[in-house]
Structure 1
Amino acid sequence: MINRPRQQLYDFWRDFRNLPRFMENVNSVDLLDDVRSSWSVAGPAGAEIELVSEITEDRPGEYIAWRSTEDSDIDHQGWIEFRDNAFGRGTEVRVLISYDPPAGAVGKLVAKVMQREPRVQARRELRRFKQLMETGEISTSKAPDAAPRADRHF
């Protein structure tokens, strides 16, 4: 559950250029037209994967479904659904993302080891989406860069 109005969440997600802000492996998304977008995604072992995605169903404020086109390095598809919470507070968000990683079964094993398996990744990205939408930022366990030290003269 995300404590934001359904339409606000839908609008943010529907502009796919926002997705790299909380999807760790998405480097960039460029809109090609109203239904197609080009994605650059970090793959296993430092590979860069190019995807062209097209929207197959779009119900404003409620649901977006997509799939890869022939121009993609991998086959993928998915959907996201936004529903008002039954208790009248916030929005329930469900997402399904599936893909056939490069290198077939070996690619799936590498993806799992690197925690890029679709289920694990989708849960992680939904948590990051929730943080971003509710607080405007994503918490991280990374230590900030240390402040530069002044030169010492003895």
Structure 2
Amino acid sequence: MVAPHDDAPITTSKRTEKTAQAAENIADPKGSSLVGRSVTINRPRHELYVQWRDFSQFPNFMENVERVEMIDDVTSHWAVKGPGGSTIEWDAIITQDQPDSLIAWSSADGADVANSGRVEFHDAGERGTIVTATILYDPPAGILGRLVAKLFQREPAIQTRRDLRRFKQLMETGEVATSARTTKELEEETA
């Protein structure tokens, strides 16, 4: 009898040795909370990698990212909305970059939110590409910070799922669907 193959992301496993293995796959791991999400996007791997590698585009599909500025080829400065209207900032360093396959990063020493992770791009045949994000992080203010972040919908596990869904929408349709009107739409209505 052949054992069934489980192709679910390793970070979804309830077996602690499997989730520990996922954390070990991150170069220069920083953080103690592990988040892993995957989405299949009907676009070629190369297109998805190129779009993701342009970090300045993240505010277009990542709800809590205010801005990402490239300092040099491997270092970026992040500004992200935090709970209660605060802004959290840090520098991140790319630790691995394999074109069309993966991008890994780690926060610089002294970051307010220690974090690291990787985004992988795998062929899904005619269905496109499987994009998997694996993130390690330490919430600011520990457990209390995590509870506040969850309350304000700013917790990385929630945001990663939403952001990957928005990335899928952007790459497949050219826009992110929203029921909220943008500032530009409101201005056009009153003009």
So what's the TM-score if we normalise by structure 2?
0.73
Q: How far is the alpha carbon of 1:79 from its aligned partner?
A: 0.8
User: Hey, which of these two has a bigger chunk of helix by percent?
Assistant: 2
- Cα distance between partner residues in 2 of 1:147 and 1:18: 27
The C-alpha deviation readout for 1:13-39, integer Å capped at 9, x for no partner, is: 011111111001100011011111001
> Sequence identity of aligned pairs in percent?
53
Q: In structure 2, what residue type is equivalent to 1:147?
A: E
So what's the TM-score if we normalise by structure 1?
0.90
Match of 2:74 in 1: 35
- Cα distance between partner residues in 2 of 1:47 and 1:117: 14
**Is residue 117 from structure 1 mapped to residue 178 from structure 2 by the alignment?**
no
Structure 2 residue matching 1:88: 3-state secondary structure: helix
Which residue, 54, 79, 82 being the options, matches 1:15? 54
Match of 1:140 in 2: 178
Q: In structure 2, what residue type is equivalent to 1:12?
A: Q
For the aligned residues, what is the CA RMSD? Answer: 1.5
* Structure 1 contact 65–80 (Cα < 8 Å) conserved: yes
Match of 1:104 in 2: 142
- Cα distance between partner residues in 2 of 1:82 and 1:27: 25
Return the index of the structure with the highest Cα Rg. Answer: 1
Gaps of at least 5 residues in structure 1 are 150-154
Q: How does 1:4-83 map to 2 (within 5 A)?
A: 4-83=43-122
- Cα distance between partner residues in 2 of 1:99 and 1:126: 18
- Cα distance between partner residues in 2 of 1:34 and 1:102: 28
Gaps of at least 5 residues in structure 2 are 1-39
Q: How far is the alpha carbon of 1:68 from its aligned partner?
A: 0.3
Q: How far is the alpha carbon of 1:89 from its aligned partner?
A: 3.1
